[in-house]
Amino acid sequence: MSAPPSEIIDLAERRQAARVARDFELADQLRDQISSAGWILADTPAGFALSVKPPFKVHPTLADVLMDPGYIIDANDPTAVSHGGCGVGIIVDGWRTDVRTCLTALLEFAPAQVQIIVLDLGNVDGAGLVAHEIGMEYQDRVRVIHVAQTLEQVGWGRATGALIELDPAAAHVVMDLSSVLTGDAITPLLAALHEPGVIAAGWKGTNVDVSDWRSVVDAGPGEVDVLLGYLMVVDRTAALATPPNPKAKFYRNGDLEWSLLLRAAGGRLVVPADHLPVEQGRHHGYHDSDPELRSRESKKNYDRLLQQFRGRVDILAPRSS
């Protein structure tokens, strides 16, 4: 990776000073100068990071994407018809090999009309470049959106909610890079959405342990309390009305909270009866995340869940007697 020249570092330091002084007009001007010189600047907890501008457009923030009319497709727009009623949202935050493996399997096994929306956050370790390469090869099926912010800065809840907004299809698939299709697992999930009252269906589900509400237990096929975010499809209208909590910075327990929010809104969540052709690789979001961050943010998510729902057995899936 090329080291930034001293004049670019000087511009970045001046911009940082302008932000501290709340001179945001000057800060924006300095960012533009850095960009014109062929560099991408990303704000970090330690200050800033500089990288060579890649061969694609990079939005400074996720908010810039959502304000860009070129990215939001109205569900009634004829362009949306090409989505075939279903879109798959993928958050990319590194792990180049996983990006290629996951997207290649999706392109092979998902129904041909299903569109894939990739949200690249930070082009970490060049993972955004891999997504860009695949997007250029499959422009009719893959849309890649690049943002300078990292997943830690954006947060899982906001990123997942943004993908739902960016997808005009009637059904939206939430999928983790660690989930790899070995066959068409999308069609059975979509079929489950046609069951009465069902607004989400997933590969793996759990039920709340109501003895203390401090844990969940694996659930088999059928109606469940919670769907895990490894692979699930949700009715987009319901998801827009009840999106993931934007306070969920980390995924763990964030999908639990979202599931209970959807159930509290009156929807049913199910796991299909038939085995789904999916394999799970190493889940980097858990195993390779900062342990302190993982513990802190997971606890925040679960504490919020308890405050909202503890004791609300009325919103849980029916239990067999």
The neighbouring-strand residues paired with 49 are: 42
Q: Which pLDDT value is given to residue 321? A: 58
* pTM score, whole prediction: 0.83
**Distance of alpha carbon 4 from its chain centroid, rounded?**
31
Residue reference for tokens 């699930």: 232
- H-helix or E-strand containing 222? strand 222-223
Query: Using an 8 Å Cβ cutoff, are 192 and 227 in contact?
Result: no
Cα–Cα distance, 259 to 277 (Å, whole number): 23
Cα–Cα distance, 27 to 23 (Å, whole number): 6
Architecture of the domain spanning 64-315: Alpha-Beta Complex (3.90)
Per DSSP, 250 falls in state S
Buried b (16+ CB within 10 A) or exposed e, 194-217: eeeebbbbbbbbbbbeeeebeebe
DSSP for 50-103, written as a single string: EEEPPSS--BSSHHHHHT-TTT---TTSGGGGGGTTEEEEEEE-S-HHHHHHHH
Per domain, the residue ranges of the chain are 6-53, 64-315
Cα–Cα distance, 47 to 254 (Å, whole number): 28
Grouping H, G, I as helix, E, B as strand and the rest as coil, residue 127 is: helix
Which amino acid, one-letter code, is at 235?
D
The neighbouring-strand residues paired with 172 are: 87, 234
Rounded to the nearest 10 degrees, the angle between the axes of helix 291-309 and helix 254-264 is 20
Q: Which pair of tokens denotes residue 196?
A: 């009465």
- H-helix or E-strand containing 166? helix 156-166
162: Cβ contacts below 8 Å, ≥ 6 apart: 62, 65, 66, 119
Cα–Cα distance, 235 to 221 (Å, whole number): 19
How far, in Å, are 33, 136, 167 from residue 52 at the CA level? 14, 20, 29
Along the 321 residues of the chain, how does pLDDT read in single tens digits? 578 899 999 999 999 999 999 999 999 999 999 989 988 888 888 889 888 888 898 899 999 999 987 776 655 555 544 445 899 999 999 999 999 999 999 999 999 999 999 999 999 999 999 999 999 999 999 999 999 999 999 999 999 999 999 999 999 999 999 999 999 999 999 999 999 999 999 999 999 999 999 999 999 999 999 999 999 999 999 999 999 999 999 999 999 999 999 999 999 999 999 999 999 999 998 899 999 999 999 999 999 999 999 999 999 999 875
Query: Using an 8 Å Cβ cutoff, are 230 and 176 in contact?
Result: yes
